[in-house]
Amino acid sequence: MAEEAPAVAAPVVKTPKKKAAPKPKSDGPPLPTLIISAVAESKERKGVSLSAVKKALAAKGVDVVKANKRINAAVVKLVTNGTLAQTKGSGASGSFKLAKKEPKLKCCIFPKIL
C-alpha cells in the first residue's frame, strides 16, 4: 500500500482589520445640560425624581434606553459637583433639585488684629 503524505496547509494570511469609522458627534447639547434644564423646568418644590427626568429627556429626543448608564452617571456627577442637590435617595436614585448657590462672604469670621 502506498503511504500518502499529510496534506500541507497553505499559510494563513491575516488580512488587516479595517478601523471602525469614527462615530459622528450628536448635534444636540450635552447630556448634563439637558438634565439641568429638565430639573429647572420642573415646578416641584421637593425635587424631581430620576424617572421624571428620564421622561423629560425622552420628550427632548434622547434615547433613554441607550443612554441609561450615561444619564445615571451624569446625575451622580452633577450631585457631587454641587450643581444638583439630592433631596431623597442615594446614588442615582431619588429626587433631585437645583442646588442653591451659597453667597460668598465679603468679610472673614476672624478679623485681623492690628
Each domain of the chain, given as residue ranges in start order, spans 31-98
| pTM score, whole prediction | 0.65
pLDDT at 3 exceeding the cut of 60: yes
Residues 47/96, Cβ–Cβ less than 8 Å: yes
DSSP-based three-state secondary structure for 41:
helix
pLDDT at 14 exceeding the cut of 90: no
User: What is the pLDDT at residue 30?
Assistant: 87
pLDDT at 105 exceeding the cut of 60: no
CATH class of the domain defined by 31-98: mainly alpha
Task: Give Cα separations from 76 to 22, 83, 84, 86, 114 (angstroms).
Answer: 28, 10, 9, 9, 46
The neighbour count for residue 58, using CB atoms within 10 Å, is 13
Burial grade of 17 (CB within 10 A; 0-12, 13-18, 19 or more): exposed
Please state, rounded to an integer, the average pLDDT across all residues of the chain.
82
Give per-residue pLDDT as tens, 92-104: 889 999 988 765 5
Give per-residue pLDDT as tens, 40-69: 998 888 999 999 999 999 999 999 999 999
pLDDT at 112 exceeding the cut of 70: no
Residue 30's identity, in one-letter code, is P
